[in-house]
């Protein structure tokens, strides 16, 4: 009996190499679509799309939406929706802009370049976003008002609160340390970027090894060693290739000269330097890791997916679904505030239209990334990849010369097609979650 069972276990993977590598076919499809998209735009732009410069810009443009998309996964998984994320981002951005340009100088005498200014500003912004998100969650969870209505009202309320906070004016300049979180004005440099890349590879390999040990200790089947080494090679190559690409984008000579002049120095002849990993991208990586751990390794994460799968059963099993809803929306508010830091820092100011239509981009990123609108299913990495696909699509069309209205038409069509493909995929795989 044991020989027969062993034979069946070893025979099944041979029929499908993806099963041997334990790869998510949906993720592979998304990666394949992304690769084809990049190659297509690179051909249409005569090789300009896949240059280090454009990849660098593409990553920092994706960060703000991607951070919020990780939170939207939890919201949609619990069978809710949040239409207010773009407006909430604008309110948090306005609060932080007014804090560092008006409140701190007037009340505490802290100027824009004071060492405490950016950190107090960010703390206030994150606190405001979390409180507003928790308020939304309280309305949905405890007053049982549909999330669609609560957040639709929030979209109108917070967008105009942001306008009144700043009287509709653009607020700037912002603190020099604060704007480093935007990406272009704050990078790790080549050396530190390689260090971060190396640590990421070590962490990924440790994670693979730890997962294998856990499976063995619980007598679960494991992949062949060649498959483990293949996955390790793919992951390491992707991480180090990404760092190499970013390190290949050199800072323009004129910008370097201004940097030396600001320090009262003269730039040596022939001096060059690269940007490296943007701080905003590093922040996104940290958020992705934290949210993944929260989803897979914590009680809160298990409760979120259990509630999304069957709310009634979750409540009968003792899960406080009302408090869970409040926590999920509070987390969404926190991530909106964090995205406000990145977005306003990238622009180096707060503008009245910041975050406009971000709610649609965030929802689309989560859905394209495989989050089921029916609840109960979604991944953090899928949402980030969905945000990257959307940004690549828009950036590529802009480089080709497609008009903005038609860009939105294409993005809307892609969203509908992505949901349809997801429905077909679930029917064929028998997954109706």
Give the domain-ending residue among 256, 277, 298.
277
Give the tens place of pLDDT for each residue, 152-187: 999 999 999 999 999 989 998 899 899 999 888 889
Please tell me the number of Cα atoms within 13 Å of 214 on its side-chain side: 6
> What does each C-alpha distance from 88 to 103, 246, 354, 357, 378 come to in angstroms?
20, 31, 10, 12, 23
242 plus 380 within the same structural domain:
no
**pTM, two decimal places:** 0.90
Asked if the structure places residue 8 within a domain, the reply is no
Integer Cα distance of 299 and 80 in angstroms: 20
Phi, psi of 224 (to 5 degrees): -60, 155
- From the CB of residue 239, how many other CB atoms can be counted at a distance below 10 Å? 19
Give the domain-ending residue among 245, 277, 309.
277
Asked if the structure places residue 399 within a domain, the reply is yes
Q: Whose structure tokens read 């300049």?
A: 173
Long-range Cβ contact pairs of 7-16 (< 8 A, separation 24 or more): 9/221, 13/224
331 plus 388 within the same structural domain:
yes
194 plus 297 within the same structural domain:
no
List helix spans (H) across 45-84.
52-77
Give the tens place of pLDDT for each residue, 306-351: 999 898 899 889 999 999 999 999 999 999 999 999 999 999 999 9
What percent of the chain shows pLDDT beyond 70? 93
Question: What is the extent of the structural domain holding 416?
Answer: 18-185+283-429
- Domain total in the chain: 2
Integer Cα distance of 306 and 312 in angstroms: 10
> Residues 111, 105: contact at Cβ < 8 Å?
yes
Asked if the structure places residue 55 within a domain, the reply is yes
Give the domain-ending residue among 226, 254, 277.
277
234 plus 292 within the same structural domain:
no
232 plus 87 within the same structural domain:
no
9 pLDDT above the threshold of 50 = no
Integer Cα distance of 251 and 185 in angstroms: 11
238 pLDDT above the threshold of 70 = yes
246 plus 268 within the same structural domain:
yes
148 plus 211 within the same structural domain:
no
The domain that holds 423 is classified in CATH as 1.10.3470
End-to-end CA distance of the chain: 34
Average pLDDT, the chain: 88
């Amino acid at each position: 009996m044991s020989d027969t069972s062993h034979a069946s276990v070893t025979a099944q993977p041979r029929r499908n190499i993806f099963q041997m590598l334990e790869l998510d076919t949906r993720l592979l499809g998304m990666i394949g679509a992304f690769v084809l998209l990049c190659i297509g735009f690179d051909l249409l732009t005569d090789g300009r799309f896949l240059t280090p410069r454009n990849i660098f810009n593409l990553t920092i443009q994706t960060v703000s939406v991607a951070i919020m998309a990780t939170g939207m996964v939890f919201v949609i998984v619990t069978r809710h929706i949040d239409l207010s994320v773009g407006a909430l981002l604008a309110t948090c951005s306005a609060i932080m802009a007014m804090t560092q340009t008006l409140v701190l100088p007037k009340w505490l005498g802290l100027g824009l370049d004071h060492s405490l200014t950016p950190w107090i500003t960010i703390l206030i912004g994150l606190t405001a976003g979390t409180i507003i998100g928790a308020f939304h969650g309280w309305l949905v969870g405890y007053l049982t008002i549909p999330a669609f209505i609560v957040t639709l009202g929030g979209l109108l309320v917070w967008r105009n609160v942001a306008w009144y906070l700043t009287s509709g004016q653009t607020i700037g300049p912002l603190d020099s340390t604060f704007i480093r979180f935007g990406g272009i004005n704050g990078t790790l440099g080549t050396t530190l970027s390689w260090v971060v890349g190396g640590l990421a590879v070590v962490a990924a390999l440790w994670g693979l090894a730890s997962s294998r040990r856990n499976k063995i200790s619980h007598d679960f089947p494991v992949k062949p060693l060649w498959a483990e080494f293949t996955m390790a090679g793919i992951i390491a190559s992707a991480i180090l290739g990404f760092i190499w690409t970013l390190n290949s984008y050199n800072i323009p000579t004129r910008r370097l000269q201004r940097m030396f002049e600001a320090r009262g120095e003269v730039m040596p002849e022939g001096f060059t330097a690269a940007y490296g990993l943007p701080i905003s991208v590093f922040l996104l990586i940290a958020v992705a890791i934290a949210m993944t751990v929260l989803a897979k390794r914590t009680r809160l994460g298990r409760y979120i997916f259990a509630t999304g799968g069957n709310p009634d059963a979750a409540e009968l099993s003792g899960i406080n679904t009302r408090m869970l809803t409040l926590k999920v929306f509070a987390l969404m508010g926190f991530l909106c505030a964090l995205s406000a830091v990145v977005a306003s820092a990238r622009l180096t100011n707060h503008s009245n239209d910041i975050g406009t239509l971000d709610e649609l981009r965030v929802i689309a990123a989560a859905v394209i990334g495989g989050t089921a609108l029916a609840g109960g299913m979604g991944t953090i990495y899928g949402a980030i990849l969905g945000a990257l696909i959307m940004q690549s699509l828009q950036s590529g069309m802009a480089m080709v010369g497609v008009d903005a209205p038609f860009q939105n038409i294409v993005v809307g069509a892609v969203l509908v097609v992505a949901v349809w493909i997801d429905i077909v995929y679930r029917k064929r795989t028998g997954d109706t979650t």
